[in-house]
Amino acid sequence: MENMQFIITEAVRHLQMQEYSDPSVTNAVKLLLSKSKAVCEIQADIGGFDTSLLKGDRIESEDALKEFKRLETRINNKLDNTKLGNELAKSFYKGTISKEAVELILRTNWKR
């Protein structure tokens, strides 16, 4: 997931600069069009991506940039939630935090 985060973040940066032929954009497009099980699971988990925006000149559209930014945000949120969940689980099993505190922290800090 962190590798995908890096690829998407780099693509967003270059799309914002209108550098559509940058290798990072090409790598992101290849990744998003990939049919590998890992990529499909990640995309399903974080809300997918409108791949029709990757065809032809549509990559140069404002809609494509918005879709990349949306995906970047969802990946970042997923990673943050995973880290938060892991830290809370460690603290709970060490006995340094109660179940109620974990639930409260998750309700207030979970990113969508």
CA nearest to 11, candidates 24, 2, 29, 1: 24
CA 71 remoteness from chain centre: 5
Amino acid at 101: A
Tell me, yes or no, if the pTM score tops 0.85. Answer: no
pLDDT per residue, tens digit, the chain (112 aa), is 788 889 999 999 999 999 999 999 999 988 888 876 766 677 666 667 888 888 888 899 999 999 999 989 988 998 999 999 999 999 999 999 999 999 999 999 998 8
Task: Provide the strand spans (E) within 4-111.
Answer: none
Q: What is the pLDDT of residue 8?
A: 92
CA nearest to 39, candidates 10, 85, 4: 4
**pLDDT tens digits, 58-73:** 899 999 999 999 989 9
Amino acid at 51: T
| Total structural domains within the chain | 1
Q: Give CA–CA dist 112/9, Å, rounded.
A: 18
Domain range for 84 is 2-109
